[in-house]
């Protein structure tokens, strides 16, 4: 009887779980995962060229207003890519404000963490995926972060490239939601930078 109750409880949990948390079936979801000092105002995924022309399903055409001194201009030439493709390089354009220190190599370190949606017992939560130590304490400026990161409000184009980590690609399921954390630490200033992204991802 107890086994039956447990089975029913797990089944109910699984049925209640959304397949795509936070609307990730159609939307790239992100948030800043620390209190600064560097602040993120936006993050948008593109193909590796930064334009995403001719990308596959869910290619979303967008009209983006770009700021120029004293006015905004309509830019019709940029399109963002969704779902993202983790089996090829992608660019994430980030609108940031860096108020304190210039960050550069070799002091700026990067650790990337990855989660899949759902637990082994059918729970509704993110489950950490093994990265085999390949994504820990990297030289950020040699792994997709454009350095130096200067002071002030700016766009930084972060390259996300898992193509050199086939061992990680091999454990990922195609067309599924993933959570990706970019955590940076500047050894010179002691500052931390953190961005969390949740997205529908293609592997094949």
Range of the domain at 110: 24-50+86-202
Domain presence at residue 6: no
What are 193's two structure tokens?
Answer: 């930078």
Distance CA 111, CA 134 (A): 9
The number of CA neighbours under 13 Å toward the Cβ of 112 is 22
For position 61, what pLDDT does the model report?
A: 38
Domain presence at residue 144: yes
Q: Which residues of 125-141 are buried (b: 16+ CB within 10 A; e: fewer)?
A: ebeeeebeeebeebebb
**Rounded (5°) CA angle 131-135-138:** 165
Number of domains in the chain: 1
What are 72's two structure tokens?
Answer: 């905004």
Distance CA 129, CA 196 (A): 15
Domain presence at residue 164: yes
Phi, psi dihedrals of residue 9, rounded to the nearest 5°: -65, -45
Domain presence at residue 78: no
Residue 168, classed as helix, strand or coil, is helix
Residue 159 near residue 129 (C-beta atoms within 8 A): no
Distance CA 107, CA 117 (A): 33
Distance CA 117, CA 95 (A): 27
Domain presence at residue 16: no
**118-133 pLDDT, tens per residue?**
998 889 999 999 999 9
For position 17, what pLDDT does the model report?
A: 77
Domain presence at residue 175: yes
At 114, which CATH number? 2.70.220.10
Q: What is the 3-state secondary structure (H, E, C) of 96-132?
A: EEECCCCECCCCEEEEEEEEEECCCCCCCCEEECCCC
Partners of 73 in the β-ladder? 66
Domain presence at residue 125: yes
Domain presence at residue 150: yes
From first to last of its 204 residues, what are the pLDDT tens digits of the chain?
A: 444 333 333 343 344 578 999 999 999 999 999 999 999 999 999 999 987 533 333 333 333 434 344 333 334 345 678 999 999 999 999 999 999 999 999 999 999 999 999 998 889 999 999 999 999 999 999 999 999 999 999 999 999 999 999 999 999 999 999 999 999 999 999 999 999 999 999 998
For position 53, what pLDDT does the model report?
A: 39
**154-164 pLDDT, tens per residue?**
999 999 999 99
């Amino acid at each position: 009887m107890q086994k039956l109750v447990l089975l029913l409880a797990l089944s109910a949990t699984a049925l209640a779980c959304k397949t795509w948390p936070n609307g990730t079936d159609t939307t790239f979801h992100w948030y800043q995962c620390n209190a600064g000092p560097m602040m993120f105002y936006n993050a948008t995924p593109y193909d590796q060229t930064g334009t995403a022309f001719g990308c596959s399903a869910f290619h979303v055409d967008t009209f983006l207003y770009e700021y120029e001194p004293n006015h905004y201009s309509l830019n019709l030439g940029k399109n963002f890519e969704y779902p993202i493709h983790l089996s090829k390089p992608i660019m994430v354009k980030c609108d940031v404000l860096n108020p304190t220190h210039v960050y550069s190599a070799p002091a700026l370190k990067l650790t990337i963490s990855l989660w899949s949606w759902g637990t082994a017992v059918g729970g509704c939560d993110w489950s950490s995926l093994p990265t085999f130590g390949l994504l820990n304490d990297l030289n950020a400026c040699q792994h997709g972060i454009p350095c130096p990161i200067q002071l002030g409000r700016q766009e930084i184009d972060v390259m996300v490239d898992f193509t050199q980590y086939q061992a990680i690609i091999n454990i990922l399921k195609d067309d599924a939601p993933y959570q990706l954390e970019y955590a940076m630490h500047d050894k010179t200033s002691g500052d931390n930078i953190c961005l969390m992204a949740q997205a529908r991802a293609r592997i094949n």
